């Protein structure tokens, strides 16, 4: 894992001191709310429905056990005993007091964490593949490049007042686990014909009000041009992105309106100019960062056998573990999606957070990942340790075996917490989970990615759900639109609205009808998404509204 | 009726203007008629509240009920964590919101 150098630490410590002073002045009355609001937002502090909410950055979703433990302690000490892991691989606390916020930031700074650039029109937390460094299907660990981009984008003076927020994802696998093409810039590490590693840049993707899949901007940017090229792409956006209309201010609109060819031409011109300015960090800096991401010392000669004689354990292994690049190891995902009303997607209690920290220390080389699907990954677990890990998870109510199943639902906080929401997301997720909780039913359906947003901002990624749900306000009443056919994977597609919306119970019935049709119509090996793509919307529409 | 709500500056807690001070309980809210702008300006300036606004509400034997679901959720707390709401002992509390 990356370790702060003196500059990183000094920057974060200075920011804590600055925000402490700003908060004091706000409480004493020498700073008005109008002046204070952008300052608190720059430190991740929102005013939400019930209280202040603090969003803490988890760069590319990677955490050490010590950091995770502090996240649990903060939930206890300053919040109401729990935190919420988000679709940006971050964590949010819902019940923060303004007067406590500087102390929380100080606690975070002690473990090299902060809340900087988790809000506002700047480059947000860089996201990445939660299996990075562990999966056999990547060409290289993408996180050193994400870290380089993090350093470049942190407090970048030119990009702190962009037309709108800006999200970047970096991956290095064919399998896209980070919704890369639904980002403002998506970067995939690739090989060129000469076998060299470089970056394919996709630009202008996004969800929200106007969902778009990012087109390819440049198929191969050499590593020693990564920052210069990113800077050129941002500069063109910063210069021409619309500031007159926030709904048209994201880069996707600019790319769409200019056309990718014209946008590319402008980036290339800017890139040519920037190359004369010498802004690229020396490759030695990348090498310095890479040294923090070397593999842990995996044991060799391990067996790949797992004793699956315990049926519940076997089910969890089948559902929640994935192949690892090292023989004898597995990637284990901890589902934060308990069945039915037992929990809230992405929420974990302070004790559960600390338990996950302890389990990572014992079984995963001290490392955890937050996934954009609001789960937690232990990236490097010996297969021989999986049973002990699972027992620890069972004891902490964290052993739900439902990864990528219909009950592994992404749900944004919705109207239960979010002041921008039109409708509640969490109760809908709970009702769907309750309806499909029986393991036979879930298993029969197999992989089905269901995603719920409480408003058009799409934090719950409903456009990318095999089944998506969007909460809308229909004359003061919650109403839910159903969408089908989205995907965030290598086969990225945007979901389509089926028809008129539903009540909270109606949407659950509609989903059951859609899954029943899928079970009746699927051919060998087809997932829900595959069947939908083969037979199209019409039969689903007929079944749901017929 | 018109009632005024906002958040406590220091704690962020949802509060309701009761005619003399800010209460955590919507049932204490007072009909402010057309005086909301003065109340909001004065109370925000005194830093007793932040992000205050006026809303429509109705009043009956069961108490005061904000017109919009968003404010009913603010008045109660998250419907999915009634243990953290202002009516943790009332299993029907979530229904009040709908
Ligand atoms: S999608 Fe809307 S309701 Fe959900 S968290 Fe985002 S802004 Fe809030």
| Burial grade of A239 (CB within 10 A; 0-12, 13-18, 19 or more) | exposed
pLDDT at position A220 is 98
Domain spans of chain A? 6-59+78-109, 127-291, 311-395, 410-545
Return d(Cα A490, Cα A104) in angstroms, integer: 38
Please report, for chain B, the start and end positions of each structural domain, with discontinuous segments joined by +: 2-94
Residue A476 vs residue A151, higher pLDDT: A151
What confidence score (pLDDT) does residue A329 get? Answer: 98
Closest CA to A86 of A332, A345, A338, A341: A345
- Cα separation, A262 vs A270, in Å, equals 12
Q: Calculate what percentage of chain A has a pLDDT beyond 70.
A: 100
Residue A341 pLDDT greater than 80, yes or no: yes
Q: What is the ipTM of this complex?
A: 0.96
Q: A411 CB less than 6 Å from ligand 1?
A: no
Q: Tell me if A448 CB under 6 Å of ligand 1.
A: no
Regarding the domain with residue range A410-545, which homologous superfamily does it belong to in the CATH classification?
Answer: Sulfite Reductase Hemoprotein, domain 1 (3.30.413.10)
pLDDT at B61 over 90: no
**Residue A441: predicted pLDDT:** 86
Helices A251-258, A260-275: crossing angle, 10 deg rounding = 110
Burial B56-78 (b: 16+ CB within 10 A, else e): ebeeeeeebbbeebbbbbbbbbb
Q: Is B19 helix (H, G, I), strand (E, B) or coil?
A: coil
pLDDT, position A402: 97
Q: Is the pLDDT of residue B89 over 90?
A: no
Cβ distance of A51 and B84 shorter than 8 Å: no
* N-term to C-term CA, chain B: 19
Mean pLDDT of B10-30: 97
Each residue of A19-75: pLDDT tens digit? 999 999 999 999 999 999 999 999 999 999 999 999 999 999 999 999 999 999 999
pLDDT (tens digit, 9 = 90+) per residue, A448-457?
999 999 999 9
**Which pLDDT belongs to residue B38?**
98
A315 touches chain B (CB under 8 A): no
All residues at 6 or more sequence positions from A287 whose CB lies less than 8 Å from its CB, including other chains: none
Domains A127-291 and A311-395 share a fold: no
Residue B27, min C-alpha distance to chain A (Å):
17
- Ligand 1 centroid–CA A414 distance in Å is 5
A51 contacts B7? CB cut-off 8 A: yes
A311-395, what's its fold?
A: Sulfite Reductase Hemoprotein; domain 2 (3.90.480)
* Partners of residue A424 in chain B, C-beta under 8 Å: 73, 79-80
**H helices, E strands: number in chain A:** 17, 20
Question: Mutate which of A47, A90, A454, A464 to test ligand 1's pocket (most atoms within 8 Å of Cβ)?
Answer: A454
| Residue B3 confidence (pLDDT) | 98
Cα of A117 to nearest chain B Cα, Å: 22
pLDDT at B98 over 90: no
Which of A36, A50, A418 best probes binding to B when mutated, by most B CB atoms within 10 angstroms? Answer: A50
**Sign of the dihedral defined by the CA atoms of residues A97, A98, A103, A108, in that order:** positive
Predicted local distance difference test score (pLDDT) of residue A275: 96
The closest-lying atom of ligand 1 relative to the alpha carbon of residue A458 is: 1
* Nearest-Cα residue of chain B relative to residue A81: B84
Residue B71 has pLDDT above 90, yes or no: yes
Nearest to B69 among A47, A50, A476 (CB): A476
Q: What CATH topology corresponds to A127-291?
A: Sulfite Reductase Hemoprotein; domain 1 (3.30.413)
CB contact set of A378 (below 8 Å; sequence gap of 6+): A331, A332, A333, A334, A356, A359, A360, A363, A364, A367, A368, A389
Q: Is A498 or A441 the better-scoring residue by pLDDT?
A: A498
- Condensed to tens digits (0 to 9), the pLDDT of residues A90-138 reads 999 999 999 999 999 999 999 999 999 999 999 999 999 999 999 999 9
Q: B44 touching A, CB under 8 A?
A: yes
Q: Is the pLDDT of residue B94 over 80?
A: no
pLDDT in tens, A164-192: 999 999 999 999 999 999 999 999 999 99
How far apart, in whole angstroms, are the C-alpha atoms of residue A129 and residue B56? 47
Q: Give the percent of chain A with pLDDT over 90.
A: 97
């Amino acid at each position: 894992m990356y370790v702060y150098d003196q500059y990183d630490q000094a920057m974060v410590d200075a920011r804590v001191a600055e925000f402490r002073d700003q908060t004091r002045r706000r409480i004493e009355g020498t700073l008005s709310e109008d002046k204070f609001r952008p300052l608190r937002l720059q430190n991740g502090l929102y005013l939400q429905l019930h209280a202040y909410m603090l969003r803490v950055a988890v760069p590319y979703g990677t955490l050490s056990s010590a950091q995770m433990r502090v996240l649990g302690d903060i939930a206890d000490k300053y919040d109401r005993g729990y935190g919420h892991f988000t679709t940006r691989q971050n964590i949010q606390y819902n019940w923060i007091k303004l007067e406590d916020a500087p102390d929380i930031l100080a606690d975070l700074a002690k473990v090299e964490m902060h809340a900087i650039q988790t809000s506002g029109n700047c480059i947000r937390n860089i996201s990445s593949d939660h299996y990075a460094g562990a999966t056999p299907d990547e060409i290289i660990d993408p996180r050193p490049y994400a870290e380089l981009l993090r350093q470049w984008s942190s407090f970048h003076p030119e990009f702190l007042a962009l037309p709108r927020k800006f999200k970047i994802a970096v991956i290095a696998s064919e399998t896209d686990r980070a919704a890369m093409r639904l980002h403002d810039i998506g970067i995939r590490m690739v090989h060129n014909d000469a076998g060299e590693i470089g970056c394919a840049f996709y630009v202008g993707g996004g969800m929200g009000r106007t969902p778009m899949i990012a087109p390819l901007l440049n198929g191969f940017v050499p590593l020693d041009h990564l920052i210069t090229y990113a800077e050129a792409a941002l500069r063109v956006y910063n210069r021409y992105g619309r500031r007159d209309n926030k709904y048209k201010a994201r880069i996707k609109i600019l790319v769409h309106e200019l056309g990718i060819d014209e946008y590319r031409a402008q980036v290339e011109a800017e890139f040519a100019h920037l190359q004369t300015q010498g802004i690229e960090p020396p490759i030695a800096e990348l090498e310095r960062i890479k040294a923090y991401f070397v593999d842990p010392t995996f044991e060799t000669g391990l067996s790949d056998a797992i004793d699956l004689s315990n049926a519940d354990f076997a089910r969890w292994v089948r559902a929640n573990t994935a192949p690892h690049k090292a023989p004898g190891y597995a990637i284990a995902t901890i589902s934060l999606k308990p069945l039915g009303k037992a929990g809230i997607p992405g929420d974990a209690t302070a004790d559960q957070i600390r338990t996950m920290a302890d389990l990572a220390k014992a079984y995963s080389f001290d490392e955890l990942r937050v996934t954009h699907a609001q789960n937690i990954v232990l990236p490097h677990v010996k297969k021989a340790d999986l049973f002990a890990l699972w027992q620890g998870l069972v004891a902490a109510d964290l052993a739900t075996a439902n990864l990528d199943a219909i009950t592994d639902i992404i749900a944004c906080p919705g109207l239960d917490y979010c002041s921008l929401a039109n409708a509640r997301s969490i109760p809908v997720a709970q009702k769907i989970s309750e309806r499909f909780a029986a393991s036979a039913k879930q298993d029969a359906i197999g992989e089905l990615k269901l995603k719920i947003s409480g408003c058009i901002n799409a934090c719950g990624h409903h456009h990318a759900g095999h089944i998506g749900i969007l909460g809308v306000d229909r004359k003061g009443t919650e109403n839910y639109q159903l969408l089908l056919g989205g995907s965030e994977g290598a086969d990225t597609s945007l979901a389509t609205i089926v028809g008129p919306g539903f009540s909270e119970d109606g949407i659950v019935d509609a989903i059951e009808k859609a899954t029943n049709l899928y079970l009746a119509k699927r051919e060998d090996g087809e997932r829900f998404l595959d069947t939908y793509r083969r037979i199209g919307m019409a039969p689903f529409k007929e079944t749901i509204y017929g | 009726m018109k009632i005024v709500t906002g958040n406590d500056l220091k704690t962020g807690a949802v509060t309701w203007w009761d005619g003399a001070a800010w209460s955590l309980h919507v049932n204490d809210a007072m009909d402010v008629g057309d005086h909301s702008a003065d109340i909001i300006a004065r109370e925000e300036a005194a830093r007793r509240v932040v992000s205050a606004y006026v809303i429509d509400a109705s009043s009956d034997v069961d108490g005061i009920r904000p017109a919009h679901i968003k404010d009913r959720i603010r008045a109660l707390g998250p419907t999915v964590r009634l243990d953290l709401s202002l009516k943790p002992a009332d299993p029907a509390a979530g229904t009040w919101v709908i």
